[in-house]
Structure 1
Amino acid sequence: MTKTEDLTSKDRTPTDPIVGRRILVAGCGSIAAVKLPRLVSSLVQQGAQVRCVLSPKAEQFVSPLALASLSRQPCNLEAHQCDPCQPRPLHVALAEWAELVVVAPLSATTLAQLVHGMADTLLSSTVLATQAPLLAAPAMNTTMWDAPAVQANWQALCRWPRLLPMPPARGLLACDSRGMGRLPEPELLLQGIRAALATGGVADLKGLRILCSAGPTREFLDPVRCLTNPSSGRMGVAMALMAALRGAAVQLVHGPLSNVPASWLDPLDTCPVVSAAEMGAALARRLPQVHGLVMAAAVADHAPGVTTAVKWAKDALPNPLPLQDTPDLSATLAARTRRDQWMLGFAAEHGLDRGRALEKLRRKGLDWIVLNPVGLAGRGFGNQPNGGILLWADGREHGLASQDKATMAGAIWSVLTGELHQFQRSGPRPTLA
């Protein structure tokens, strides 16, 4: 196997952007601070160097000893700000050390301090002193979040350069009410950190409206039997999520999902479907309003030629089972796009057959296609690493090393972002025969 074939070529995408990076996790006074140990543990397991700083109120919600133990570094507290053993001002040392500052949870008090430049705590001083990218994730009661003063402060903070905002999620709050205000789950914060590190905190997809498909479809023979495939939908959801975290407005049409963290869907406008026909109809309705379409769904190629509303008796099942082709959704949708709308597809193939992938790209009328090999141990379907090659119609390619699917999604967006904002197809797309 050549270097190109084993994905070790010189132009392959680097692996996880978290590995080896210096990340400062800053927690404010909110009950949501109890999630910090999970986040810190995950970052350390992913290979990051982590330090923590807590506001005076946050110390009442989460154990500094726990954060110190998980990060393998002392947890920085308000009492340490004027420690005579510190050779330099602690807030300056932390601000200069960090490659990324994650403020999670961000309280209404600290939000106001940051917006108005109030450096009266170690945490706010550190954030105001840093030149590193910031990730800000508020958490508070819904009524507090909706208060005009808080919303004005949040909008002001979102205008900071190099800041990636992660608005709160909707759900059950500590005050027993339901609404907007929950801190995003650590699994989602981890992906936000990946996005912030990859872009330097710049929302490089802001202004784009993107439509994504994900997951398998199910084509039912009767109420309990169907034709489907083992796709989990994780790759397609990761593409949608990483685009949303980088500023795009994303709609996701997905089949039945598995092995996908529920929190990954929180930032997305989702539409669940079951069959290929339902997916095609949902995508077609949304297509005119978007700049581009990502076809990552594993649409079933065939449907039963006969169906029934009641379960077939085992000895009455048609044998052989007649099959019919399902619609080619990529080609059908491509034929309906404008020249200023782009399409990215995925091709799951045994091996790295570029010729077959390029033929599929041109036949379907795509602008790019990701060739990802399946049938390899520990790769492909489910909660498995993915990798492959991103191909252009003119034969250009970019290698994608085997990596976590969210990391791979971020890598794909990083490669394509420069082409997406002013996309204009030079010629007509192929039309269906």
Structure 2
Amino acid sequence: MEDAKLYIYFLERYAQGLHSESEHIQFLNWFDHLDPIEAETVMDQYAQISAKYESVQTLFPPQKSLINSIEQRLDQLSEPERSGKSETRFYLGFLRYAAAAILILAGTFAYFTIFRKKAPEVASVKMVTNDAFPGSNKAILTLADGSDIVLDDARNGEIAVQEGIRITKTADGKLIYSSEKITDDEASRKPGIFNTITTPKAGQFKVNLPDGTKVWLNSLSSIRFPASFDGPVRTVEITGEVYFEVAPLMNSIDGKTQKVPFHVSSADQVVEVLGTHFNINSYRDESATRTTLLEGSVRVLAAKKGQNVKSEVRLRPGEQALVPARIKSQQTPGAGITVRNVDSEEAVAWKEGYFRFKDAGIQDVMRQLARWYDIEVSYEGDFSSEQFTGFVSRNIRMSNVLKILQEGGGVKFSIKGKKVEVTRAE
């Protein structure tokens, strides 16, 4: 692929989903030996080419077999054989290969690696003992009677029946609630039957609620919901980070057929919606609760349970509402919600299988890694001036993610078991 026309031909075919595995391997072998300036040029050209085929890419998603092979090879790579630097980015041997992998994983995005504005010398990631593997589908289902079912250990098929509701686990690790009546005695379905699904560190899970709403839970998250949505309002409670695709629902109430609203309650806010796609990040160690709207319309009300509403906003697609931590802690009663325009893909990157950062501080980055890889993080030094932009797969080992971050510059890492120490790169 030394001829520029050949690699452009491959990128054109890749953007349309027409490339073969052998062509892809040939491209990766060629790309891995480029110098930093040439590698950046190729990535920029791919960003331009892929923009032409954005609609086609939705029809031809990246080949999963190729993604898996790339992730496996990333985990097998050793330390880079040589080092070098440029003013804006590092594309060392490992990083350039990782960038090519992200080309497969990330589609049309313009950023193909982590980078920062000032890049000092790069040191290797020091692994003292064990590395950390990425998280997986795992969660605990708590039934209304208080019994727990470990979902990652549960067999596929029907795992429980309660008050006329059938709970089924699918082969791809998803939980489905079937709201069909499976008993002739409708009166046997008691009101107020709630279930809770909780994900641990390094866990994620997907569930179809009884009304057909699809829910994705990130690590260290939970959702509490009724086994049957029979009232005038559908209400669920969450912690952590949860993505929703809310299904419309019509009920006959007092002889009238009407839409049933869907409410999502967390410790500091309520989101009201009729049918839409949105993400809520409500981790207690974050500076604010972030509600990001991808489709439809929602109303966000900032409030504490049992207290008056502080303020409310209505979001449009591409907007994000921030309820700051001071409302959570009641340090500033009456404080309002901030609304800003955002790249909604960044908010749901976790759901699609990768980390995505934009001008993020190292503490913001490491909080996400800590939840997904089940690690503890400590810091030594001042990192206030360090910001990272880029994305990387969540399906590779932690040390490889840290290598990509480290080669972005400004930080270095030392791993010892489940503990990661972050220090400044001198």
| TM-score by shorter chain over 0.5 | no
Larger strand fraction of residues: 2
**Structure number having the greater helix percentage:** 1
TM-score relative to the length of structure 1: 0.31
TM-score for both structures, normalised by structure 2: 0.31
